[in-house]
Amino acid sequence: MDFDLLIKGGEVVDPAAGLSGMLDVGISDGKIAAVGPNLAAGSVRTVIDATGQYVTPGLIDLHTHAYWGVSYWGIEPDPVAARTGVTTWLDVGTSGAYSFPGFRRYVVEASQTRVLALLNISYVGLVGPTYELANLDYCDVALAVRTVEANRDICVGIKARIDSSTTRGTGLEPLRRAREAVDQLGLPLMVHIGQAPPLLRDIIPLLRPGDVLTHCFTGAPNRIIDEHGKVYDFVKQAWDQGLILDIGHGTGSFSFHTCEAMLAAGMKPDVISTDIHQMSVQGPMYDLPTVMSKFLALGLSLPEVIERTTARPASVIRRPDLGTLKPGAPADVALFRLEAGSYTFYDVVMNARPGQQRLVNTVTVKGGQVMPRKPERPVEEWAVRDLPPEQKVLLNSSGG
């Protein structure tokens, strides 16, 4: 067999395909051609020596903001993707119906990274930091449905941020409209939580199996544990019935206290994602390998962490062709070193936890092509200004 690219000598970890061990990965015409020990090739254009490294499917980040230049939040995906192994970004609600044509043209079509989207139920999207649901006129169900129907190749659901600042007096009505839209479309809904109102116990009944509760381990008042650290019964019931719990770390949405209470209750997150944006990329979130490393420090195994950043998010967005190295799948591959050392990881209020391992990406392959490393665009002035004070102080003093 001839290969365009052959990755040799690495340890494959692919939970979706059930592949593990010292295996080579052969790539032809942008697809995975073969996976096996000591693959023999008739001819090979490029060989990557993966000795001492882990070889995984390209990662899928289920919570990103990639609409640079049109949004308070957005960053450019390609420079970050190339250094992190994330080959598929799901932009969650940065664009609304009125800005989606530009998102498609200037982000999706212009990026080497695969960029998919959840459409914001608000047609103004996330141009500003918040308040997009404060005017119900923006929550046009018919327009949202038409926009998704016209872009089903990249638009895989609807996003609604449901907290006190985004709704600002409109209560649950934006969520009801988002529910109406996804019910018509037959697609999942992602809901952001943080500050109440609305209350979590009123939000959860509007979610269905396959929907996503992002910021699931927030420490904010609308969190999924009570003051004693016990998981609310209504949350556990919804999870047992198929609600997806997604991390969405971000700048304000990941608490070690909440996370450890959930893990102690036997509730591991379904998906590990970043909520990467202009502020969170400065730290302590930084990127997906950093968030994955935090969960290694919290006791998840490497295969569990890889599954929650490949196979499981692929299932959520109904793309079984992604997040796997099965022959015939798109040739999206990531190589990592698992470095041993003494590391300190932080949550969003800068509580610290020690770790002895850190995932470091060395090569990212998208569609059979090695992604070149490029300088990242500096964050905007407002992203430095609006970083939470405790993160500014401790990040400046400790380096993360």
Domain ranges of the chain: 3-56+331-370, 58-316
CA 87/CA 77 separation, integer angstroms: 9
Q: What is the pLDDT of residue 398?
A: 57
- Cα–Cα distance, 384 to 368 (Å, whole number): 36
Q: Identify the three-state secondary structure at position 349.
A: coil
DSSP state of 188: -
For the cut 80, the answer to whether the pLDDT of residue 397 exceeds it is: no
The residue type of 89 is W
Confidence of residue 386 (pLDDT cuts 50, 70, 90): very high
- Res. 400 pLDDT band, cuts 50 70 90: very low
Q: Calculate mean pLDDT across residues 61-74.
A: 98
Classify 58-316 by CATH class: alpha beta
225 strand-pairing partners: 231
| Cα separation values, 352 from 80, 122, 228, 298, 345, Å | 25, 36, 21, 12, 6
Asked whether the CA dihedral 323, 329, 332, 338 is positive or negative, the reply is positive
**Neighbour-count burial of 106, counting CB atoms closer than 10 A to its CB (0-12 exposed, 13-18 middle, 19+ buried):** middle
- What local confidence, expressed as pLDDT, does residue 42 receive? 86
User: For 226-249, what is the mean pLDDT?
Assistant: 97
Angstrom distances, CA of residue 229 to CA of 19, 265, 283, 316? 37, 10, 26, 28
State how far the Cα of 193 lies from the Cα of 260, in Å rounded to an integer.
Answer: 19
pLDDT in tens, 335-344: 999 999 999 9
Among 134-138, 286-290, 356-360, 391-395, the range scoring the smallest mean pLDDT is: 391-395
Q: At 388, which amino acid appears?
A: P
When pLDDT is averaged across residues 30-48 and rounded to a whole number, the result is 94
pLDDT in tens, 178-237: 999 999 999 999 999 999 999 999 999 999 999 999 999 999 999 999 999 999 999 999
- Is beta strand 11-14 parallel, antiparallel or unpaired with respect to 3-8? unpaired
Classify residue 225 by its DSSP letter: B
Average pLDDT over residues 108-123: 98
Confidence of residue 396 (pLDDT cuts 50, 70, 90): confident
Q: Is the pLDDT of residue 394 over 80?
A: no
Q: What is the torsional sign of CA 381, 382, 383, 388?
A: positive
114-120 and 155-161 as β-strands: parallel, antiparallel, unpaired?
A: parallel
Instruction: Look at residue 298 and tell me whether its pLDDT is greater than 60.
Output: yes
Beta strand residue intervals within the chain, DSSP E: 3-8, 11-14, 19-22, 24-28, 31-36, 44-49, 54-57, 59-64, 86-92, 114-120, 155-161, 189-192, 212-214, 244-246, 333-346, 352-366, 369-370
In single-letter form, the type of residue at position 222 comes to N
Is the model's pLDDT at 279 over the cut of 70?
A: yes
Superfamily of domain 3-56+331-370: Urease, subunit C, domain 1 (2.30.40.10)
Work out the pLDDT band at 1, boundaries 50, 70, 90: confident
Q: What is the Cα–Cα distance from 239 to 241, expressed in whole angstroms? A: 5
C-alpha distances in Å from residue 355, one per residue of 61, 248, 293, 297, 360: 22, 21, 8, 5, 14
pLDDT band of 138, cuts 50, 70, 90:
very high
Q: What is the pLDDT of residue 393?
A: 80
Q: Which of 326, 296, 331 is nearest to 19 (CA)?
A: 326
Q: Write out pLDDT tens, residues 159-180.
A: 999 999 999 999 999 999 999 9
The answer to whether 346 touches 394, Cβ cutoff 8 Å, is yes
Q: Which residues 6+ apart lie within 8 Å of 221 measured at CB?
A: 195, 196
Q: Tell me, yes or no, if the pTM score tops 0.95.
A: yes
Indicate the pairing of strand 189-192 with strand 212-214: parallel
